Chain A
Amino acid sequence: MQAQTGQTEFGYNSKIEGDVVLTTVDAALAWFRKNSVWPMPMGLACCAIELMAAGASRFDISRFGSEVMRFSPRQADCMIVAGTVTYKMASSLKRIWDQMPEPKWCIAMGACASTGGMYRSYAVLQGVDNIVPVDVYISGCPPRPEAVLDALMKIQDKIGKQPVLQDTVIARALHLQGASNNQG
């Protein structure tokens, strides 16, 4: 559990505390969550090929827990929009995003998904962030698989910091402290 720099995530030092880790439930749950992000590959165009390469043996996305590329949105955590989003495709994409259960994140992979890329034309949506909230943008045309892995690591950092039990429906229902002060 000890990071390279010597700082520990959970204040754990094996020489003092032995083999027991003390942490908050939130941190533990966030750790479970971030290391098993199941992507939903919205592979539309060329970036999908680099996404597949990221999933193949050389770059191996399964090291990060994302081995199962779930094509069913109901079973996925993170939607990776890889490729150009056209207006014709946009409604399907939004629908699939809506079908994903919370908590969900979105990675806009490549120039086309981030901003429309080099296709400034009548048929291309200039950035998928017009229809879904994007957490991480990857630039590149197409981005190298290492860039995809870097984006996944950024998502993992983001998930690691997100409260899991606080400020959730459960917390509010149980009238836990701190939750009642928060709106929405």
Chain B
Amino acid sequence: MTDLEAAAAIKTKFGEIISEPAEFRGEISINVADAERVAEVCAFAKSIGFNYLVDVSSIDNYGDDPRWTVVYHLRAIVNGAEIRLKTGVSEEKSELPSVIGVWRTANWHEREIYDMMGIRFTGHPDLRRILMWEGYPYHPLRKDFPLAGKPTDLPGVAFTLVTPMEGGPFVTVAGGHDSIAREPRVRVPEDDEVQLNARIEARGDNKDLRGRAFGPGPMEKK
């Protein structure tokens, strides 16, 4: 069974909610329009041979609706067929069924997606943070969360500060003046940038309490 045949089989079974298979660089992707049924689709995929879940990823389409895209990479170990399932989840809902009943490896994948993006998985037995510590208030991989982080209260150690991003284009800050139109790499909500600039203006400099520079450095800020 090739990738295309498998995609066709899934489309035949589930009808409208499955998009036409798209092909790019030899890989087949199909879109599942209804996120609530993704566990069903996955279970069917497993029954036709996709017994290995390679990866579950999440994408933040900041500014678009639906905001979240959850991407499943499936593989059939028997014959090597691979397929990609994508499904969109809106920000208001931020929830979709867990596929842990289909492949047990989805357990940690989904915990990581919850930790990094904030998407919840219904039916997951133990949905808690995995990479950040318990009680971390943010979801770091969201596009509106800055790379430098936000200060939090970490029990045990007295602080977490914003990382100093002084100078140099080695890390370009989101929404900075050097990002160009054909690179929609990160979109920043306007109020964050306004707040940042207001902080800089108010203090008269861009140094934090420890005297380290934060925010866009001299190369970015014009």
Contacts and interface: CB of A to CB of B under 8 A. Distances in A.
Q: Do A and B bind?
A: yes
Interface of A: 87-88, 90-91, 94-95, 116, 118, 120-126, 131
Contacts of A88: 132-133
Given A120-B165, A122-B148, A91 B154 contact: yes
A116 B161 CA distance: 13
Contacts of B156: 90-91, 94-95
Contacts of A87: 133, 154, 157, 160
B145 A126 contact: no
Contact residues of B: prevailing secondary structure: loop
A150 B70 CA distance: 50
B163 A124 contact: yes
A88 B150 CA distance: 15
Interface residues of B, number: 22
A123 B164 contact: no
Contacts of A120: 147-148, 163-165, 171
24 contacts: A87-B154, A88-B132, A90-B154, A90-B156, A91-B154, A91-B155, A91-B156, A91-B157, A94-B156, A121-B147, A121-B148, A121-B149, A122-B138, A122-B140, A122-B146, A122-B147, A122-B148, A122-B149, A122-B163, A123-B140, A123-B149, A124-B163, A126-B163, A126-B164
B153 to A, nearest CB: 11
B163 A131 contact: no
